[in-house]
Structure formats: structure tokens, C-alpha cells
């Protein structure tokens, strides 16, 4: 990608808001997930990154976490659209760390279509399996290892609130994530486990050039009120806020780092 996404600001030191925590982040090899993994490590957490097969990106993220921020980083490749893999992946995290304090369900895919008639069932299944089924499967597997004070953060999208004419299946999964987050927050309230979400607007991540035309990639984010896409670095602080004690009285809510678009959600 040119320019490369900005994941970290080395001039800003951490403040140990997540000291001693264990965080599992899906899609943590690149994009928003990588910025979140890096920031969490800077703030004192040990990290597990689940990703598909972008091994170079994952190793690069791991190198920063271990050698710049001196935290442990486990990288776990595999298809999160597969239920067995999701459950096996969580077992590996537990074997490595013993428990999980923070779960960030972030992995997602999308492909553009011009007409609903062009949406193949194979794509529909893949989008739902990766973008929302994995959230259910991973959360089910993680919850037995969480205790009061733990938290779950789910990545939705601005498209959940206003739709997307070329990303109908993707937007539908992101809407499902909003309802899942609010329902799970209520379900887990008495256990002291908070559940919140982040609904970003346009962000400069590898998902954009890999799934959109060159013209749309060049224009990505220009329709936001701020007239630009965000860098992953600008989205990650929302996740830190929701993962830390700063948000101890917040559950079932969404933050909207979307460049100024009002969505009332």
C-alpha cells in the first residue's frame, strides 16, 4: 500500500492502562486490529493475534509488540469462518496465557457488488461466517475463561447505521453485530463483563485496495465530512477506552470514529 497505513506513534508513551491484561484480537495482523494490538501492548497487555494467512503482516506486528514494547505476542493463523478453528484457536490462547481479559472481535471481509442479483450464495455465506458467526463462536469459547472486570469489544461499521449500496451483505453483518453487542451486554451484566463496540467510518487499511477498484480506492473517505479516511492509529484509542477502567460505567454502547458523520446510534 502506498502510503502505508499508520499504526503507531512512537513519540507517545503508554500509561499502563492495561498492565497485566491478556487480550485476544481477531484480524490483528493489519488495519484497525493491528493498531489496537500495538496500542494495547504499549499500554501493558500481552497479546494474541488471530488472522487468516497474511504471515508477513502478522510477524511484523509481533515484532513491534515484542521488541518495541517488550510484551508477549502469540500469532494464530487460520480461517475464522470455520467454527472448529475458532474454538481451537481460543484453546491455544488459554494454553499460552491461562485466561483472557479482553476480547476484540474485529476480523471482517467485504466484496463490492453492483446489484443484489450479483450476490452469490457462496459470498453471502463467507461474509456472514467471518463477520458475525465468528463473533458468536469465539465469544462462546472465551467466556468460560473470563471473570468480572473482563470486557468484549466488537467492531461494527458506519454502514450498520446508514447502509451501503455496494456492500449490502457486509452492512447486514455489521448491523447484526450492533444487535449482538447490545444483547450480549444485557446478558452478561450480572457477571460483571462489559460488552461494547466501535463503528468506524472509512479507514485506510489493506482491505480497501484488495477489494475495491483503483478509482474507488483513490477516493476512499472523500465522502466523509472530514473528506478523508482515518488512519488505523486514529481508531485504536476508542478500543483502549472501552478496554480500560476509563469506561467502567459503559456497556452495550458504540463509539463512532467516522470523520464527523452523524448516525444517531
Contacts of 15 (CB under 8 A, 6+ apart): 43
For residue 103, give the C-alpha cell. Answer: 476480547
Catalytic position from the list 7, 51, 170, 239: 170
Question: Three-class SS string for 111-161?
Answer: CCCCCHHHCCHHHHHHHHHHHHHHHHHHHHHHHHHCCCCCEEEEECCCHHH
Burial class (CB in 10 A: 0-12, 13-18, 19+), 13: exposed
Measured over the CA atoms of residue 59, residue 37, residue 81 and residue 97, the dihedral's sign is: positive
DSSP 246: G
Cis amide prior to 9 (ω within 30 degrees): no
Catalytic residue check, 170: yes
Write down how long the chain is.
265
- Active-site residues, by number, are 170
Amino acid at each position: 500500500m502506498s502510503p502505508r497505513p499508520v499504526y503507531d506513534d512512537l513519540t507517545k508513551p503508554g500509561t499502563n492502562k492495561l498492565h497485566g491484561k491478556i487480550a485476544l484480537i481477531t484480524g490483528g495482523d493489519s488495519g484497525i486490529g493491528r493498531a489496537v494490538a500495538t496500542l494495547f501492548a504499549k499500554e501493558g497487555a500481552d497479546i494474541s493475534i488471530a488472522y487468516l494467512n497474511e504471515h508477513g503482516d502478522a510477524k511484523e506486528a509481533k515484532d513491534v509488540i515484542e521488541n518495541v514494547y517488550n510484551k508477549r505476542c502469540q500469532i494464530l493463523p487460520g480461517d475464522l469462518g470455520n467454527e472448529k478453528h475458532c474454538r481451537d484457536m481460543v484453546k491455544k490462547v488459554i494454553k499460552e496465557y491461562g485466561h483472557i481479559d479482553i476480547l476484540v472481535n474485529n476480523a471482517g471481509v467485504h466484496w463490492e457488488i453492483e446489484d443484489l442479483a450479483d450476490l452469490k450464495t457462496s459470498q453471502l455465506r463467507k461474509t456472514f461466517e467471518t463477520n458475525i458467526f465468528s463473533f458468536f463462536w469465539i465469544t462462546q469459547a472465551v467466556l468460560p475463561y473470563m471473570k468480572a472486570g473482563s470486557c468484549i469489544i466488537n467492531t461494527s461499521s458506519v454502514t450498520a447505521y446508514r447502509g451501503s449500496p455496494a456492500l449490502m451483505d457486509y452492512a447486514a453483518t455489521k448491523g447484526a453485530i450492533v444487535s449482538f453487542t447490545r444483547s450480549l451486554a444485557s446478558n452478561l451484566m450480572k457477571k460483571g463483563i462489559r460488552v461494547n463496540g466501535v463503528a468506524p467510518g472509512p479507514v485506510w487499511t489493506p482491505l480497501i485496495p484488495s477489494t475495491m477498484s483503483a478509482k474507488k480506492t483513490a477516493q476512499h473517505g472523500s465522502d466523509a465530512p472530514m473528506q478523508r479516511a482515518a488512519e488505523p492509529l486514529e481508531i485504536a484509542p476508542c478500543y483502549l477506552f472501552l478496554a480500560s477502567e476509563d469506561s467502567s460505567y459503559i456497556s452495550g454502547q458504540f463509539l463512532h470514529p467516522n470523520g464527523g458523520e452523524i448516525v444517531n446510534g
